[in-house]
Homo-oligomer: A and B are copies of this chain.
Amino acid sequence: MTGQAVSKRISYLGPEASFTHLAATKVFPNSTLVPFTTIPECIEAVAEGSVDYAVVPLENALEGSVPLTVDYLFHEAQLYVTAEVLSSIQQHLLVHPENRDAESFEAIYSHPHALAQCHKFLYYTYKNTPLEQYSSTAAAAKMVSELPERNIAAIGNEFSAHKYGLDILQRDIHDFHFNHTRFFVLSKSDHKLTDPSHDDQIKTTLMITPPDDDRSGVLHQMLSVFAWRRLNLSKIESRPLKTGLGDYFFIADVLADENETMMRGAFEELAALGCTVKTLGSYYTYKS
Protein backbone atom coordinates (compact mmCIF):
# COMPACT_ATOMS: atom_id res chain seq x y z
CA MET A 1 0.00 0.00 0.00
CA THR A 2 1.92 3.01 -1.27
CA GLY A 3 1.45 6.06 -3.40
CA GLN A 4 -1.57 7.44 -1.56
CA ALA A 5 0.36 10.20 0.20
CA VAL A 6 -0.91 13.73 -0.32
CA SER A 7 2.40 14.93 -1.73
CA LYS A 8 2.50 12.57 -4.74
CA ARG A 9 2.28 14.03 -8.23
CA ILE A 10 0.44 12.17 -10.97
CA SER A 11 0.41 12.83 -14.72
CA TYR A 12 -2.67 11.87 -16.72
CA LEU A 13 -3.94 12.22 -20.28
CA GLY A 14 -6.01 15.39 -20.19
CA PRO A 15 -7.90 17.58 -20.49
CA GLU A 16 -9.48 17.93 -17.04
CA ALA A 17 -12.66 15.86 -16.61
CA SER A 18 -11.48 13.29 -19.20
CA PHE A 19 -12.13 9.59 -18.60
CA THR A 20 -8.44 9.22 -17.70
CA HIS A 21 -8.81 11.98 -15.09
CA LEU A 22 -11.73 10.04 -13.61
CA ALA A 23 -9.60 6.85 -13.46
CA ALA A 24 -6.70 8.74 -11.84
CA THR A 25 -8.92 10.13 -9.05
CA LYS A 26 -10.01 6.55 -8.27
CA VAL A 27 -6.44 5.49 -7.45
CA PHE A 28 -5.12 8.84 -6.19
CA PRO A 29 -8.00 10.73 -4.52
CA ASN A 30 -5.66 13.03 -2.55
CA SER A 31 -2.75 13.65 -4.90
CA THR A 32 -1.81 16.46 -7.27
CA LEU A 33 -3.08 15.48 -10.71
CA VAL A 34 -1.35 17.10 -13.70
CA PRO A 35 -2.96 16.90 -17.18
CA PHE A 36 -0.82 16.41 -20.32
CA THR A 37 -1.83 16.74 -23.98
CA THR A 38 -0.36 13.46 -25.29
CA ILE A 39 0.37 9.94 -24.04
CA PRO A 40 4.16 10.23 -24.63
CA GLU A 41 4.24 13.45 -22.56
CA CYS A 42 2.44 11.68 -19.68
CA ILE A 43 4.84 8.73 -19.81
CA GLU A 44 7.97 10.90 -20.09
CA ALA A 45 6.92 12.97 -17.08
CA VAL A 46 7.28 9.87 -14.91
CA ALA A 47 10.42 8.65 -16.73
CA GLU A 48 12.09 12.04 -16.08
CA GLY A 49 10.94 12.12 -12.46
CA SER A 50 8.79 15.26 -12.60
CA VAL A 51 5.83 13.14 -11.42
CA ASP A 52 5.63 9.90 -9.38
CA TYR A 53 3.04 8.04 -11.46
CA ALA A 54 1.43 8.33 -14.90
CA VAL A 55 -2.15 7.22 -15.66
CA VAL A 56 -2.69 6.43 -19.35
CA PRO A 57 -5.39 4.58 -21.32
CA LEU A 58 -4.45 1.18 -22.67
CA GLU A 59 -7.50 -0.45 -24.20
CA ASN A 60 -10.75 0.65 -25.78
CA ALA A 61 -10.02 4.20 -24.80
CA LEU A 62 -11.80 7.34 -25.85
CA GLU A 63 -9.09 9.92 -25.60
CA GLY A 64 -6.13 8.06 -26.99
CA SER A 65 -5.18 4.94 -28.82
CA VAL A 66 -3.95 1.70 -27.35
CA PRO A 67 -1.07 1.32 -29.81
CA LEU A 68 0.44 4.62 -28.66
CA THR A 69 0.71 3.42 -25.06
CA VAL A 70 1.84 -0.11 -25.88
CA ASP A 71 4.39 1.03 -28.45
CA TYR A 72 5.81 3.79 -26.29
CA LEU A 73 6.29 1.35 -23.40
CA PHE A 74 7.90 -1.18 -25.75
CA HIS A 75 10.20 1.12 -27.70
CA GLU A 76 10.97 4.04 -25.43
CA ALA A 77 10.37 3.67 -21.73
CA GLN A 78 11.56 1.35 -18.97
CA LEU A 79 8.63 1.64 -16.61
CA TYR A 80 6.48 -0.72 -14.56
CA VAL A 81 2.76 -1.20 -14.26
CA THR A 82 1.87 -0.75 -10.58
CA ALA A 83 -1.92 -1.09 -11.05
CA GLU A 84 -4.58 -1.16 -13.72
CA VAL A 85 -7.93 0.63 -13.57
CA LEU A 86 -11.01 -0.79 -15.27
CA SER A 87 -13.70 1.85 -15.77
CA SER A 88 -17.08 1.33 -17.29
CA ILE A 89 -17.67 3.99 -19.91
CA GLN A 90 -20.94 5.83 -19.42
CA GLN A 91 -21.88 8.47 -21.95
CA HIS A 92 -24.60 11.01 -21.29
CA LEU A 93 -26.27 13.71 -23.37
CA LEU A 94 -25.34 17.05 -21.77
CA VAL A 95 -26.99 20.44 -22.26
CA HIS A 96 -26.77 23.92 -20.80
CA PRO A 97 -29.42 24.30 -18.02
CA GLU A 98 -31.09 27.04 -20.11
CA ASN A 99 -31.71 24.49 -22.88
CA ARG A 100 -32.95 21.63 -20.72
CA ASP A 101 -36.41 21.69 -22.34
CA ALA A 102 -35.10 21.54 -25.90
CA GLU A 103 -36.46 18.72 -28.04
CA SER A 104 -34.06 19.17 -30.92
CA PHE A 105 -30.58 20.64 -31.32
CA GLU A 106 -28.63 22.63 -33.88
CA ALA A 107 -25.77 20.17 -33.46
CA ILE A 108 -24.32 17.59 -31.06
CA TYR A 109 -20.59 17.86 -30.24
CA SER A 110 -18.19 15.24 -28.93
CA HIS A 111 -15.00 13.27 -29.51
CA PRO A 112 -15.36 11.11 -32.65
CA HIS A 113 -15.10 7.90 -30.58
CA ALA A 114 -17.88 9.04 -28.24
CA LEU A 115 -20.11 9.90 -31.22
CA ALA A 116 -19.37 6.43 -32.59
CA GLN A 117 -20.06 4.71 -29.25
CA CYS A 118 -23.52 6.33 -29.17
CA HIS A 119 -24.21 5.64 -32.83
CA LYS A 120 -27.52 3.78 -32.39
CA PHE A 121 -28.94 6.28 -29.92
CA LEU A 122 -28.06 9.19 -32.22
CA TYR A 123 -29.38 7.33 -35.26
CA TYR A 124 -32.79 6.61 -33.72
CA THR A 125 -33.30 9.74 -31.62
CA TYR A 126 -31.48 12.56 -33.44
CA LYS A 127 -31.22 11.23 -36.98
CA ASN A 128 -31.10 14.60 -38.75
CA THR A 129 -29.02 16.47 -36.18
CA PRO A 130 -25.50 17.30 -37.41
CA LEU A 131 -22.73 15.59 -35.43
CA GLU A 132 -19.63 17.70 -34.88
CA GLN A 133 -16.22 16.33 -33.95
CA TYR A 134 -14.38 17.84 -31.01
CA SER A 135 -10.95 17.03 -29.58
CA SER A 136 -12.31 15.51 -26.36
CA THR A 137 -15.61 14.91 -24.58
CA ALA A 138 -14.52 17.34 -21.84
CA ALA A 139 -13.69 20.10 -24.33
CA ALA A 140 -17.10 19.65 -25.98
CA ALA A 141 -18.83 19.94 -22.58
CA LYS A 142 -16.86 23.10 -21.80
CA MET A 143 -17.87 24.66 -25.13
CA VAL A 144 -21.57 23.89 -24.54
CA SER A 145 -21.32 25.51 -21.09
CA GLU A 146 -19.92 28.70 -22.63
CA LEU A 147 -22.57 29.09 -25.35
CA PRO A 148 -26.03 28.99 -23.72
CA GLU A 149 -27.45 31.11 -26.56
CA ARG A 150 -26.75 28.29 -29.02
CA ASN A 151 -29.08 25.33 -28.77
CA ILE A 152 -26.41 22.63 -28.83
CA ALA A 153 -25.60 19.47 -26.84
CA ALA A 154 -22.45 17.51 -25.94
CA ILE A 155 -21.84 13.85 -25.25
CA GLY A 156 -19.62 13.20 -22.24
CA ASN A 157 -19.26 11.76 -18.75
CA GLU A 158 -20.82 12.77 -15.43
CA PHE A 159 -17.57 14.38 -14.26
CA SER A 160 -17.73 16.84 -17.18
CA ALA A 161 -21.38 17.62 -16.43
CA HIS A 162 -20.52 18.57 -12.83
CA LYS A 163 -17.37 20.46 -13.73
CA TYR A 164 -19.06 22.63 -16.37
CA GLY A 165 -22.49 22.94 -14.72
CA LEU A 166 -24.42 21.09 -17.44
CA ASP A 167 -27.67 19.16 -17.11
CA ILE A 168 -27.77 15.47 -18.02
CA LEU A 169 -30.67 15.33 -20.49
CA GLN A 170 -30.37 11.59 -21.08
CA ARG A 171 -28.22 9.06 -19.22
CA ASP A 172 -26.33 6.03 -20.57
CA ILE A 173 -26.78 6.62 -24.27
CA HIS A 174 -23.83 4.37 -25.27
CA ASP A 175 -24.70 1.34 -27.42
CA PHE A 176 -22.82 -1.39 -25.52
CA HIS A 177 -23.39 -1.60 -21.81
CA PHE A 178 -20.38 -3.78 -20.96
CA ASN A 179 -17.96 -1.29 -22.43
CA HIS A 180 -14.84 -0.88 -20.30
CA THR A 181 -11.71 1.16 -20.68
CA ARG A 182 -8.48 -0.09 -19.18
CA PHE A 183 -5.82 2.24 -17.80
CA PHE A 184 -2.25 1.58 -16.62
CA VAL A 185 -0.70 3.30 -13.58
CA LEU A 186 3.02 3.51 -14.42
CA SER A 187 6.04 4.09 -12.19
CA LYS A 188 9.84 3.94 -12.42
CA SER A 189 10.00 1.36 -9.62
CA ASP A 190 8.55 -2.15 -9.69
CA HIS A 191 5.95 -2.32 -6.89
CA LYS A 192 2.23 -2.95 -6.49
CA LEU A 193 -0.48 -0.46 -5.58
CA THR A 194 -3.34 -2.16 -3.83
CA ASP A 195 -6.93 -1.25 -3.31
CA PRO A 196 -8.72 -2.41 -0.13
CA SER A 197 -11.45 -3.84 -2.37
CA HIS A 198 -9.24 -5.59 -4.94
CA ASP A 199 -10.31 -9.09 -5.85
CA ASP A 200 -6.89 -10.71 -5.40
CA GLN A 201 -6.50 -11.74 -9.04
CA ILE A 202 -2.99 -10.71 -9.94
CA LYS A 203 -1.99 -10.13 -13.54
CA THR A 204 1.40 -9.82 -15.28
CA THR A 205 1.90 -8.03 -18.60
CA LEU A 206 4.66 -9.31 -20.88
CA MET A 207 6.05 -8.05 -24.18
CA ILE A 208 7.51 -10.95 -26.12
CA THR A 209 9.63 -10.57 -29.25
CA PRO A 210 9.98 -13.84 -31.17
CA PRO A 211 13.22 -14.80 -32.96
CA ASP A 212 13.50 -13.73 -36.60
CA ASP A 213 12.67 -17.06 -38.22
CA ASP A 214 9.40 -18.97 -38.44
CA ARG A 215 7.15 -16.66 -36.46
CA SER A 216 3.98 -18.69 -36.88
CA GLY A 217 5.49 -21.81 -35.34
CA VAL A 218 7.02 -19.77 -32.52
CA LEU A 219 3.67 -18.28 -31.50
CA HIS A 220 2.29 -21.79 -31.14
CA GLN A 221 5.35 -22.85 -29.11
CA MET A 222 5.08 -19.73 -26.93
CA LEU A 223 1.51 -20.60 -26.06
CA SER A 224 2.50 -24.20 -25.30
CA VAL A 225 4.89 -22.84 -22.66
CA PHE A 226 1.91 -21.24 -20.87
CA ALA A 227 -0.75 -23.86 -21.67
CA TRP A 228 0.87 -26.97 -20.13
CA ARG A 229 1.55 -24.98 -16.94
CA ARG A 230 -2.11 -23.93 -16.77
CA LEU A 231 -1.05 -20.27 -16.87
CA ASN A 232 -4.11 -18.48 -18.25
CA LEU A 233 -3.75 -15.65 -20.74
CA SER A 234 -6.48 -13.02 -20.44
CA LYS A 235 -5.18 -11.15 -23.50
CA ILE A 236 -2.80 -11.64 -26.39
CA GLU A 237 -2.13 -9.22 -29.20
CA SER A 238 0.43 -8.95 -31.98
CA ARG A 239 1.89 -5.50 -32.68
CA PRO A 240 4.12 -4.41 -35.57
CA LEU A 241 7.77 -3.95 -34.51
CA LYS A 242 8.12 -0.85 -36.76
CA THR A 243 11.35 -2.23 -38.17
CA GLY A 244 9.59 -3.33 -41.35
CA LEU A 245 6.34 -4.92 -42.44
CA GLY A 246 5.70 -8.41 -41.12
CA ASP A 247 7.85 -8.08 -38.00
CA TYR A 248 5.76 -8.46 -34.86
CA PHE A 249 6.00 -8.58 -31.10
CA PHE A 250 3.31 -9.84 -28.74
CA ILE A 251 1.75 -8.29 -25.68
CA ALA A 252 0.27 -10.88 -23.32
CA ASP A 253 -1.51 -10.64 -19.96
CA VAL A 254 -0.99 -13.71 -17.77
CA LEU A 255 -3.19 -14.33 -14.72
CA ALA A 256 -0.28 -15.04 -12.36
CA ASP A 257 2.49 -13.29 -10.43
CA GLU A 258 5.80 -13.03 -12.28
CA ASN A 259 7.61 -14.51 -9.25
CA GLU A 260 5.63 -17.77 -9.18
CA THR A 261 7.63 -20.91 -9.90
CA MET A 262 5.61 -21.70 -13.01
CA MET A 263 6.16 -18.19 -14.40
CA ARG A 264 9.91 -18.38 -13.81
CA GLY A 265 9.94 -21.69 -15.68
CA ALA A 266 7.96 -20.11 -18.51
CA PHE A 267 10.47 -17.23 -18.79
CA GLU A 268 13.36 -19.72 -19.03
CA GLU A 269 11.69 -21.72 -21.78
CA LEU A 270 10.72 -18.60 -23.75
CA ALA A 271 14.38 -17.55 -23.66
CA ALA A 272 15.40 -21.05 -24.83
CA LEU A 273 13.01 -20.63 -27.80
CA GLY A 274 14.92 -17.48 -28.76
CA CYS A 275 12.26 -15.05 -27.52
CA THR A 276 13.11 -11.76 -25.80
CA VAL A 277 10.75 -11.09 -22.89
CA LYS A 278 10.20 -7.65 -21.32
CA THR A 279 8.02 -7.76 -18.21
CA LEU A 280 6.00 -4.70 -17.23
CA GLY A 281 5.44 -6.17 -13.77
CA SER A 282 2.61 -7.79 -11.83
CA TYR A 283 -0.31 -5.74 -10.54
CA TYR A 284 -3.85 -5.66 -9.17
CA THR A 285 -7.01 -4.15 -10.64
CA TYR A 286 -8.95 -1.11 -9.39
CA LYS A 287 -12.53 -0.97 -10.61
CA SER A 288 -14.55 2.21 -11.06
Residues of A within 8 A of B (CB): 15, 37-41, 44, 59-61, 63-68, 71, 75, 86, 111-113, 115-117, 119, 123, 131-136, 139, 176, 178-180, 215-217, 219-220, 223-224, 226-227, 230-238, 240, 242-246, 248
Most buried by B among A117, A139, A245: A245
The answer on a CB contact under 8 Å between A119 and B40 is yes
Task: Tell me the bound Cα distance from A227 to B180 in angstroms.
Answer: 33
User: Which B residues touch A245, using CB under 8 A?
Assistant: 86, 178, 180
The answer on a CB contact under 8 Å between A232 and B215 is yes
The answer on a CB contact under 8 Å between A38 and B236 is no
Q: A112-B63, A135-B112 are in contact. Are A231 and B216 (CB under 8 A)?
A: yes
The answer on a CB contact under 8 Å between A38 and B131 is yes
User: Which B residues touch A65, using CB under 8 A?
Assistant: 60-61, 65-66, 113
Q: How far is the CB of A66 from chain B (nearest CB, A)?
A: 7
Q: How far is the CB of A139 from chain B (nearest CB, A)?
A: 7
> Secondary structure of the A side of the interface?
mixed
Q: How far is the CB of A195 from chain B (nearest CB, A)?
A: 16
The answer on a CB contact under 8 Å between A113 and B64 is yes
User: Which B residues touch A217, using CB under 8 A?
Assistant: 227
Q: A66-B66, A248-B235 are in contact. Are A41 and B119 (CB under 8 A)?
A: yes
Task: Tell me the bound Cα distance from A132 to B37 in angstroms.
Answer: 8
Q: A68-B113, A116-B38 are in contact. Are A237 and B238 (CB under 8 A)?
A: yes
The answer on a CB contact under 8 Å between B216 and A115 is no
The answer on a CB contact under 8 Å between A37 and B112 is yes
The answer on a CB contact under 8 Å between B180 and A112 is no
The answer on a CB contact under 8 Å between A67 and B60 is yes
Task: Name the residue of chain B whose CB is nearest to the CB of A250.
Answer: B236
The answer on a CB contact under 8 Å between A237 and B240 is no
- Subset of 30 A-B contacts with CB under 8 Å: A15-B133, A37-B115, A38-B112, A40-B116, A40-B119, A41-B119, A60-B65, A64-B112, A65-B65, A65-B66, A71-B176, A86-B245, A111-B135, A133-B135, A134-B135, A178-B240, A180-B240, A180-B245, A216-B226, A216-B231, A219-B236, A220-B220, A220-B224, A220-B226, A234-B238, A234-B246, A235-B248, A236-B236, A237-B237, A237-B238
